[in-house]
Amino acid sequence: MVPPRPPIKERPMQRHWIHAWLLLTPAFVFLLAFTHIPALTTLWQSFRTTPRGRRPSRWAGLENYQELISDPIFWKVLGNNIWFAIGTIPTSILIALVMALWVSERLPGRGFVRMAYFTPTVLPMIAVANIWLFFYTPGFGLFDQITGFFGFGQSNVLGSPKTALVGVMVVTIWKEAGFFMIFYLAALQTIPPSLIEAARIEGAGPWTIFRRVTFPLLMPTTLFIGVNAVVNAFRMIDHIFVLTGGGPDNASSLLLYYIYETAFRFWDTSYAASLTVVLLALLALLALGQFFFLDRKVHYK
Amino acid sequence: MISKLKAAAAAMALAASPAMAVDLEFYFPVAVGGAAANTIEDLTAEYVAANPDVNIEAIYAGSYQDTVAKALTAARGGNAPQLSVILSVDMYTLYDEDLIHAFDDFATTDEDKAWLKSFYPAFMENSMIDGKTYGIPFQRSTPVLYYNKEALAEAGLNRAPETWDEMKEWAAKLTKKDDSGNVTQWGVRIPSSGFPYWLFQGLTTSNGATLVSEGGTKTNFDDPKVVEALEYLVSLSKDGVMAPGIIEWGATPKAFFEGQTAMMWTSTGNLTNVRKNAPFEFGVAMLPAKVSRGAPTGGGNFYLFKGGSDEETKAAFDFIKWISQPTQAAKWSIATGYVAPSPATWDSDVMKAYVADFPPALVARDQLEFATAELSTYENQRVTRIFNDALHAAITGEKSAAEALAEAQAKADDVLKDYR
């Protein structure tokens, strides 16, 4: 015998459903308004021409994408961005890890050292870039004053196409490492001391402990930091405005900076939209790749 | 008696409560120190006090780039300001977007028409399209050569160089090295970061080249005279009288004060800055000549935006007319170092007293006779960027001058072909 479904139970179910939607709505509205709708509009715009006051927008199909493929500056900034990512991500993660291991030890003035390493993260990027601009200034900048003391000539790091991108990368690493250190520091606190003590009893040296115990346990944090670092490598461009303006001859321009220039200096919004679509696709691919392939290799417990 | 008082009170009440007050929005950029913003606000307040039926909100909109971006965005959203100061070179862009009025449409009286003709012709080159005036010169500048008189005297020189050859020769004499062969003082400094095309126009103009054919639809980047000018610029670094690589614009006055360079090229907008901060006696001279003297003009114009009511636009027109009159223009020029845009301003008593006290202020005015329009085309920012990239490529030795300029010309043609 099947008992009839009690009607009383259905109402709370419905109410749960409404509740859930009510709770989700505020966040959903904002996501829709500021993320999803703009993303779709961008995609739509990338298939049309830029409207000018005297020439309205028309359907362009893949014209913008064809222009993109034949645009040498696009390829240059994309290449720059890849070098920028390769140059900044592993270095800043490595420095962050070393700093975290160093300041999690019991050393005198630990609080001060931690604060010192974290300072770059707190400072606004534009202010930081202005300070670095002074460091790099040929002739009377800090670096030239120091090297000049040892009898070296002037350097022009930001004014030469060979070194401008490196100059920008150094500032990025300096800025990012302290931020990532905080995550490592938090993760290090969660590693049970018993594991390390056990390893010691087994006769493991500090290097083996790090390689076999600490580092594997830090992997989830490394993955998290890795995803963030990759996103930042495509997103952090504030300092470029101050340091080089993308120059000389686009030697230090990155993809997002080029998008900004195309959209808000050249006012070619449609071409900027197609560049944005490429950037979005690239970031989505990278994030998916990291989560699905690296995630398998991460040891969680 | 009482009725008279009543009438007077009524009249006062009428005057005090302007029923039809016009509200105007006025965007302005500031490209030099903080005093400029205060001066604009003071001038606006003065006008509003004298004209109670007009209310002007002067909005500081950031750099030139920020201001044009804000004005364009606001106009696209249907809230354009009635007036704004924007780079003179953005005129074609604003015109192409169909955002600005021609001043001629509002200049109905003979007085108004005379006013439109009262500015230096060099400034009007960047302010007119097809014979109509779209911009009124306001914060305009031109580059000049500043030199350290003490350093020159030390090298046995008692005047500024007058030709390209002289400048290079002077610069060679002024370049000093220490015992290990490192340069401690460069001869000359022509900054090339950010917007190198502007100072470079000082070389092309004095070599008799015109970068853009009239109408802003054709560039002449590959003209042999332009190539020659770029080769000269590159040779300054190659021959060791100017620092190699891209030279920072912003650090240039500082390098001059520190004795890092004996001569520098920069805007007249820096005149007050140099006057206050140079720890030595300095001189100001026109840019050196090749076939003639020559320099570009630069800086911002007033624009009258579409979108307001007739009444609002007329009120904005009147304000622009007022602020460009000699008394106001002199005040502005003295506070900043910008070049007063009309001969009448230079003839005013305030201005005469100023230049009597500080003669270098005259150099920029005298140079106007040889000045040409700053590089300005349709899609100006993009075309300028192409040109800047070419200059950077040549200065850093990535490409030869001829090769870089030929490429830039091809790219610019590609952008501008739609406008011909």
pLDDT digits (tens, 9 = 90+) for B286-314: 999 999 999 999 889 999 999 888 889 99
pTM beyond cutoff 0.80: yes
Question: How many A/B residue pairs have CB atoms within 8 Å?
Answer: 96
Nearest to B288 by CA among B204, B415, B153, B163: B163
Cβ contact B183–A154 (<8 Å): yes
Residue scoring higher pLDDT (B412 or A105): B412
Chain A neighbors of B193, CB-CB under 8 A: 159, 244-245, 247
Q: What are the residues whose beta carbons fall under 8 Å from the beta carbon of B267, sequence distance 6 or more? A: B141, B142, B143, B144, B298
Distance from CA of B360 to the nearest CA of A (A): 28
User: What is the DSSP track for B59-103?
Assistant: EE--SHHHHHHHHHHHHHTT---SEEEEEGGGHHHHHHTT-B--G
* Nearest residue in A to B378, CA atom: A266
Best mutation target among B396, B416, B419 (most A Cβ atoms within 10 Å) is B396
Does residue B209 carry a pLDDT above 70?
A: yes
Domain presence at residue A44: no
Q: What is the pLDDT of residues B84-127, one digit of tens each?
A: 999 998 898 899 888 999 999 998 889 999 999 999 988 998 89
Of B180, B255, B398, the CB nearest to A249: B398
Domain presence at residue A84: yes
Do residues B54 and B48 lie in contact, with contact meaning Cβ atoms separated by under 8 Å? yes
Of B182, B246, B398, the CB nearest to A153: B182
Distance from CA of A51 to the nearest CA of B (A): 9
In chain B, the percentage of residues whose pLDDT exceeds 70 is: 94
Question: What would the two tokens of residue B362 be?
Answer: 């005259």
Q: What is the pLDDT of residues A259-290, one digit of tens each?
A: 999 988 888 889 999 999 999 999 888 888 87
Average pLDDT, chain A: 86
Distance from CA of A238 to the nearest CA of B (A): 15
Chain A neighbors of B385, CB-CB under 8 A: 261, 265-266
Of A140, A159, A268, the CB nearest to B247: A159
User: What is the DSSP track for B209-244?
Assistant: --SEETTTTEE-TT-HHHHHHHHHHHHHHHTTSS-S
Domain presence at residue A199: yes
Does residue B20 carry a pLDDT above 90?
A: no
CA-angle at B151, arms to B147 and B154, nearest 5°: 140
Domain presence at residue A35: no
Residue B390: the pLDDT is: 94
Chain B neighbors of A267, CB-CB under 8 A: 72, 93, 97, 381
Cβ contact B180–A268 (<8 Å): no
Determine which of A103-117, A216-230, B85-99, B343-357 has the lowest per-residue pLDDT on average.
A103-117
Residues 238-267 of A with CB under 8 A from B: 244-245, 247-250, 261, 264-267
Does residue A298 carry a pLDDT above 60?
A: yes
Cβ contact A264–B385 (<8 Å): no
Determine which of A93-97, B19-23, B42-46, B339-343 has the lowest per-residue pLDDT on average.
B19-23
Best mutation target among B97, B178, B241, B389 (most A Cβ atoms within 10 Å) is B389
Distance from CA of A83 to the nearest CA of B (A): 19
Does residue B10 carry a pLDDT above 50?
A: no
Distance from CA of B386 to the nearest CA of A (A): 9
In chain B, the domains with their CATH numbers are 18-141+298-372 (3.40.190.10), 143-297+374-419 (3.40.190.10)
Measure the CA–CA gap between B17 and B21, rounded to whole angstroms.
Answer: 9
Residue A6: the pLDDT is: 55
Best mutation target among A55, A243, A265 (most B Cβ atoms within 10 Å) is A265
Residue B14: the pLDDT is: 44
The domain in which residue A228 lies consists of 58-297
Average pLDDT, chain B: 88
Measure the CA–CA gap between A191 and A173, rounded to whole angstroms.
Answer: 27
Cβ contact B396–A266 (<8 Å): no
Question: What are residue B132's DSSP bridge partners?
Answer: B129
Domain presence at residue A39: no
Q: What is the pLDDT of residues A181-216, one digit of tens each?
A: 989 988 988 888 888 889 888 888 888 888 888 888
Q: What are the residues whose beta carbons fall under 8 Å from the beta carbon of B286, sequence distance 6 or more? A: B144, B145, B293, B295, B363, B366, B367, B370
Does residue B274 carry a pLDDT above 70?
A: yes
Domain presence at residue A116: yes
Of B96, B381, B392, the CB nearest to A249: B392
Residue B19: the pLDDT is: 47
Residue A108: the pLDDT is: 79
Cβ contact B385–A265 (<8 Å): yes
Residue B16: the pLDDT is: 44
Report residue A256's pLDDT band, with 50, 70 and 90 as the boundaries: very high
Distance from CA of A291 to the nearest CA of B (A): 39
Residue A111: the pLDDT is: 81
DSSP state letter for B296: E
Q: Is A147 on the interface with B (CB under 8 A)?
A: no
Mean pLDDT over B379-395 rounds to 92
Determine which of A135-144, B9-18, B46-55, B241-250 has the lowest per-residue pLDDT on average.
B9-18
Question: What would the two tokens of residue B417 be?
Answer: 């072909």
CATH number of domain containing A143: 1.10.3720.10
Q: What is the pLDDT of residues B165-204, one digit of tens each?
A: 999 999 999 999 888 778 889 999 999 988 899 999 999 9
ipTM over 0.90: no
Domain presence at residue A186: yes
Of B181, B255, B395, the CB nearest to A139: B255
Q: Is A152 on the interface with B (CB under 8 A)?
A: yes
Q: What stretch of H or E contains B189?
A: strand B183-189
Q: What is the pLDDT of residues A214-240, one digit of tens each?
A: 888 888 899 889 888 988 899 888 899
Three-state DSSP class for A97?
helix
Residue B15: the pLDDT is: 45
Which residues of chain B approach chain A closer than 8 Å at the C-beta? 65, 69, 72, 93, 96-99, 180-183, 192-194, 243-248, 250-251, 254-255, 258, 260, 379, 381-382, 385, 388-390, 392-393, 395-396, 398
What distance lies between CA B126 and its chain's CA centroid?
Answer: 10
Residue B32: the pLDDT is: 57
Mean pLDDT over B45-71 rounds to 88
Residue A12: the pLDDT is: 58
Could you identify the residue written with the tokens 């040889």? B370
Structural domains in chain A (count): 1
* Nearest residue in A to B261, CA atom: A139
Residue A301: the pLDDT is: 52
Domain presence at residue A136: yes
